[in-house]
Structure 1
Amino acid sequence: MITRMISTHSQELEDLYDAKINAHFADIRLLREQRNADCSKTRNLPPEILSTIFGILHSEITQYSYQEWIVVTHVCSTWRNIALDDPSLWSDITVVPTNWIPEAFARSKAAPLTLGQGGFYDRGKTLDFIYKHVAEHPERIKRLYIHGEEDFINTLTKPAPFLEHVDISPDMEFPPDFLGGVAPRLKSVSCQSLPLEATWLANLTRLECFQVHLGAVYMSNLISLELGYDWVALDAAGGVIHCVDIDLLLSALQNMPLLQQLCLTLPRNMSNAPSNRSAPIHHHHLRDITVHLRKPKSAVIFNHLRVDSIERLEITCPIDFKDTAMIEPVCRFFNMCYHGSNLSYYLLQDGRDLEMHQFVGSIHTPVLLFKCLRPTDLVSVVNLLPRCVPRILAMHRKLPPKFPLADCDTIEELQLQIISEYSTSAFFEFLEAPSIPYPSLRQLHLEGVSFVPKAKRIPSLKRWISKRKSGTKIELLVLKECGLSDKDIASLRKVVTVVG
């Protein structure tokens, strides 16, 4: 009896102390939460600002990992509550892992949805529920990506007042009663083919398509047009126009007066017949043009096109590019329509792509891009572009056997990013050449250059720097990831200022 009483008393004391300990833990947790809330540097930020920041993080992170975005909600209770109270942060169902879909859908509340299927997750009961819900409430759809679910798109027969973008797979067609013909905010469509007439296309401004009615009424409102590889033109009856001539394409472009951005792959079967137009088409708003040339004569389209001011021009040449004659119309067009300051940044990637950039403050933006050019073509291309005065020559990754523009006397800065011993050897062979190229060179940037064996390569670089005339002496040598010792750098500093 006494033993039982002692045991009972001991258990009561243990429970009492455990209760007091747990109470202290609760107080400590509460104090920590209050400290985090009162002392945080973000405590004075309104919830709207934090929600905006979370939205930026969501858009940047979720394309790589949805779990990384969720970590934001674990920082503190304030952040978690703000995130949970913003339905828009949970409304993109395309990036949500399968096991998270029900919770994300619940947190989205009544916010317009970005909904997609195909490549993101497997279809199951959860998606069937969401599809059924959206079919009954199409006002929930903001952006729609559907690949391989034709049965679902056929259920969308009610008006979608907030739908902005539709992207469907090439093997799918829009049903005749799609959205009940009502989608007043629909601006962007990516698809295989569109009907010639459809009231839900009345406000279309952006189109990516492969089978297109060039004479459709809605084409006149387009701001951006992308005609993909092997696109075909359709006649009024939906039949394929087997040979698109230059005048047909130009007439279609003329009927798009609001066009600002054009991405065009010229058809393989494009007619070689010359244009009968007496004057070029003048597009007052067109600023951004990408054209994939597939036949030598297809560049003549630029003889019939004018814009007020080109801001970006990208040209892809055939792999079997022979000479610059086929791109002379492109260069003439650029010289006539580019009104910015002289291009100051010249970039060669992998030894075959020519990119010219313009500096705006500390940021450089691509202005002119020629792709699939051999290194030997580059000088000829630059000579066709009197507006181009290269000041910076940056070569990334692979170096061509012969340095491009070696005789250019305007380059002031040479940047080399090297990833192979072959490219490193090509650079040091370039240093040992009898002539001294780039007479205006003042800065040399080297990244990933191996100086092994150092006994030959460091002296070679020092000689090349020292040979230059005093008026154009290299003022700065920037080294990054070159593996040089302090002794090596000290040796180079005898002839040039070294950073790195």
Structure 2
Amino acid sequence: MKSTQSQELEDLYDAKINAHFADIRLLREQRNADCSKTKNLPPEILSTIFGILHCDITQYSYQEWIAVTHVCRTWRNIALDDPSLWSDITVVPTNWIPEAFARSKAAPLNLRHGGFYDTGETLNFIYKHVAEHPERIKRLYIHGKGDFINSLTKPAPFLEHVDTSWDVQFPPDFLGGVAPRLKSVSCHGSLPLEATWLANLTRLECFQVHLGAVYMSNLISLELGYDWVALDAAGGVIHCVGIDLLLSALQNMPLLQQLSLTLPTNMSDAPSNRSAPIHLHHLRDITVHLRKPRPVVIFNHLRVDSIERLETTCPIDFEDTATIEPVCRFFNMCYHGSNLSYLLQDERDLEMHQFAGSTHTPVLLFKSFRPTDLASVVNLLPRCVPRIFAIMHRNFPPKFPLADCDTIEELHIISKYSTSTVLEFPEEPSIPYPSLRQLHLEQVSFVPKAKRIPPLKRWISKRKSGTKIELLVLKKCGLSDKDIASLRKVVTVVGS
């Protein structure tokens, strides 16, 4: 055993050592504070940066976001003092929720009920608190069954969004009928026909809908999800939705800007009795998923001032291009732009884009579409003259699509997958795309190079009619400097 004197001496040295460690720690903190490149940034700027980082990281790993608070004392204090950084309870692991909830202080909450979270005792205190203080809810996600929603009977003045993944039955006194900031609802079940808490609703995503509900008149965005059903005033299902019922509902939404419809399988084939189309002046973005070809006639009864985006998803076995005539006629009538580029993906998806510099915006899209004759689609769209044509394929087809089109000035051939496309340039009497000026190739295989580069050179240099190709753009084609030098004898080459 150590003597008393020896123990006292050891304790003395340990105290001096610990004091030095404390001094070293203090010096490090001072060095970090005085020499940091971010020391001159105001706390509110750092807090804004943390907020951006929080949004980018927490959807993947909450622990990575927490690392910010371990960098230095200043960063930690700023993060801990900003309640908004801790108010998104939807991304917090269950065992961290009590601490995050405390750090959020009085900030409005993004709250998730159910789903993959434990809904046991560890979370009950949150739900009890929110039921007593619904003014704290900003966004509410209900992803599980339970009676939690029945406990929300007090006004929620800051609630902006409600999302339910179950067929939730909203109680008559939900939120006391008061939610003045509620603008967005995503609901897998049905909403009541009359609800004062929906008075200011502007965005609705729903699967069971009362098409005549008063609150729908303020909608800016409407999405009727997969196999949606219409309900009558008593809440019963309308088993065969007619086109006129849908059109009348849309007519009562004069502010609508965005519309997404999945037309149900029980859609009536009866023609519309309307004498004139409905005119939705603000509608700019339309998506219609067709379960069968017939309901596409909805486009015969719609007019908008200027369409900016139109997407139609066709049945998987759909090949009759004549059936999409109403879509094309509507687009020709309501689109006022020009110079659209065409993109063909694996002979299945046809897209038209507006180009602005290096960016492009989708404008007209035919998804899951297998036309037997691509040229017939182009003929249905006389106002959409293709100037740029992109072909994105796993394996390039043996014949060039739209080969006779005399307006195409740029041709982009892109391998869609990691394996390079092997492209043949046929030496035919009739060279496709007589107005072609630029050729862009991405991930196109030139192996063996000795056999593939000469045909490409002849294809570029010996065009018997039309314009001369002025630019060849190569990206990830794996050519050597010698190959590129050979191509530059006949055309300007950019890339490698």
TM-score, length of structure 1 as denominator length: 0.90
**Alignment correspondent of 1:464:** 459
Amino acid at match of 1:101: I
Aligned partner of residue 78 in structure 1, secondary structure: helix
What is the aligned-residue RMSD (CA, Å)? 2.7
Indicate whether 1:18 and 2:17 are aligned: yes
Q: Whole-Å Cα distance in 2 between the matches of residues 243 and 62 of structure 1?
A: 44
Work out the CA distance in 1 between the residues paired with 2:96 and 2:141. 19
2:335 equivalent in structure 1: 338
Structure 2 Cα separation of the partners of residues 9 and 71 of structure 1:
41
CA contact (8 A) 1:492 1:498 kept: no
Contact conserved, 1:489 with 1:498, CA < 8 A, in 2? Answer: no
- How far residue 168 of structure 1 moved from its aligned partner, in angstroms, is 1.0
Which secondary structure does the structure 1 equivalent of 2:430 belong to? coil
Work out whether residues 179 and 200 of structure 1, in 8 Å CA contact, stay in contact via their aligned partners in 2.
yes
CA–CA distance in structure 1, aligned partners of residues 18 and 241 of structure 2: 84
Amino acid across the alignment from 2:60:
Y
Q: 2:366 aligns with which of 350, 353, 370?
A: 370
Give the superposition deviation at 1:368.
Answer: 1.0
Tell me the amino acid that sits aligned with residue 143 of structure 1: R
Describe the shift of the 1:8–1:197 C-alpha distance in structure 2 as closer, same or farther (beyond 3 A): closer
Q: Secondary structure at the match of 2:387?
A: strand
Shift of 1:111: 0.8
Shift of 1:288: 0.9
The answer as to whether partners of 1:164 and 1:186 remain within 8 angstroms in 2 is: yes
Unaligned stretches of 5+ in structure 2?
none
1:493 to 481, 488, 492: 488
Which amino acid counterpart does residue 492 of structure 1 have in structure 2?
A: L
Q: Distance in 2 between matches of 1:9 and 1:223?
A: 79
Pairing partner for 2:130 from 114, 134, 141: 134
Q: Which amino acid aligns with 1:69?
A: W
Candidates 291, 294, 298, aligned match of 1:297? 294
Question: Is the alpha carbon distance of 1:464 and 1:10 closer, same or farther for their aligned partners in structure 2, counting shifts above 3 Å?
Answer: farther
Query: In 2, distance between residues paired with 1:55 and 1:160?
Result: 25
Is the aligned partner of 1:254 residue 2:251?
A: yes
2:172 aligned partner? 176
Tell me the TM-score normalised to structure 2 length.
0.91
Partner of 1:262: helix, strand, or coil?
strand
What is the distance in 1 between the residues matched to 2:444 and 2:316? 30
CA distance 1:495–1:7, shift in 2 (3 Å): farther
Contact 2:431-2:464 at 8 Å conserved across structures: no
Q: Hey, which of these two has a bigger chunk of helix by percent?
A: 1
Alignment CA distance shift 1:109-1:198 (3 Å): same
**One of 387, 391, 397 as aligned partner of 1:391:** 387
Structure 1 residues 395 and 8: alpha-carbon distance in aligned structure 2, compared to 1, 3 A threshold = same
Instruction: Give matches, 1:48-59, under 5 Å.
Output: 48-59=44-55
Q: Confirm or deny that 1:146 pairs with 2:142.
A: yes
For 1:149 and 1:377, locate their aligned partners in 2 and report how far apart those are by CA, in whole Å: 50
CA distance in 2 between counterparts of 1:483 and 1:197 reads 64
Query: Which of the numbers 104, 109, 117 marks the counterpart of 1:108?
Result: 104
Deviations 1:33-63 (A, max 9, x none): 13443xx1x4444333332333233223322
Which amino acid in the other structure matches residue 158 of structure 1?
K
Q: May I ask how many residue pairs the two structures share in their alignment?
A: 492
Of 445, 449, 452, the residue aligned with 2:444 is 449
Change (3 A) 1:277 1:400: farther
Of the three residues 192, 195, 198, the one matched with 2:192 is 195
Whether 2:263 is the aligned partner of 1:269: answer no
- Alpha-carbon spacing, 1:296–1:22, altered in 2? closer, same or farther (3 Å): closer
The residue that corresponds to 1:233 in the other structure is 230
Structure 1 unmatched runs, 5+: none
Q: Offset of 1:363 from its aligned partner? A: 2.7
CA distance in structure 2 between the partners assigned to 1:338 and 1:62 by the alignment? 40
C-alpha separation in 2, matches of 1:22 and 1:151: 55
Deviations 1:395-414 (A, max 9, x none): 33424634322222222222
Residues 18, 72 of structure 1: CA spacing in aligned structure 2 closer, same or farther, 3 A cutoff? closer
Counterpart of 1:442, as a letter, is: R
Q: Report the CA distance shift for 1:61/1:396 in structure 2 as closer, same or farther (over 3 A).
A: farther
Q: Indicate the SS of the match to 2:421.
A: helix
Counterparts of 1:167 and 1:118 in 2: how far apart (Å)? 12
| 1:81 paired residue number | 77
Matched-pair identity in %: 80
Contact kept in structure 2, 1:413 and 1:442, CA below 8 Å: yes
CA contact (8 A) 1:150 1:172 kept: no
> SS at 2:162's partner residue?
strand
Q: Is the 8 A contact 1:419 1:449 kept in 2?
A: no
Provide the residue aligned with 2:317 in structure 1: 320
| 1:79-136 deviation line (CA, Å, top 9, x unaligned) | 3332222211211111122232222212211111111134443333222221111111
Structure 2: distance between partners of 1:54 and 1:85: 12
How many Å apart are 1:20 and its aligned residue?
Answer: 7.2
Q: Is the 8 A contact 1:291 1:315 kept in 2?
A: yes
Report the CA distance shift for 1:435/1:105 in structure 2 as closer, same or farther (over 3 A): farther
- Match of 1:498, SS state, is strand
Change (3 A) 1:33 1:488: same
- CA distance in 1 between counterparts of 2:243 and 2:7 reads 99
- Structure 1 residues 261, 149: CA separation in 2 closer, same or farther (over 3 Å shift)? same
Match of 1:215 among 212, 215, 227: 212
Query: Comparing 286-295 with 357-366, which one deviates more in the overlay?
Result: 357-366
Structure 2 CA distance, aligned partners of 1:14 and 1:27? 20
Give the partner amino acid of 1:30. E
Counterpart for residue 152 of structure 2: 156
CA distance in 2, matches of 1:266, 1:393: 31
Structure 1 residues 394 and 74: alpha-carbon distance in aligned structure 2, compared to 1, 3 A threshold: farther
Moved more, 24-33 or 100-109: 24-33
**Contact 1:36 1:76 (8 Å CA) reproduced:** no
Quote how far apart the aligned CAs of 1:139 are. Answer: 0.8
1:286-328 deviation digits (Å, cap 9, x = unpaired): 1111111222221111111111111111111111213222211
Distance 2:314 2:234 in 1: 34
Partner of 2:28: 29
Q: Deviations over 1:367-387 (max 9, x none)?
A: 111111125443222211122
Is the contact between residue 112 and residue 162 of structure 1 (CA under 8 Å) also seen in structure 2? Answer: yes
Q: What is the rounded CA distance, in whole Å, between the counterparts of 1:214 and 1:350 in structure 2?
A: 38
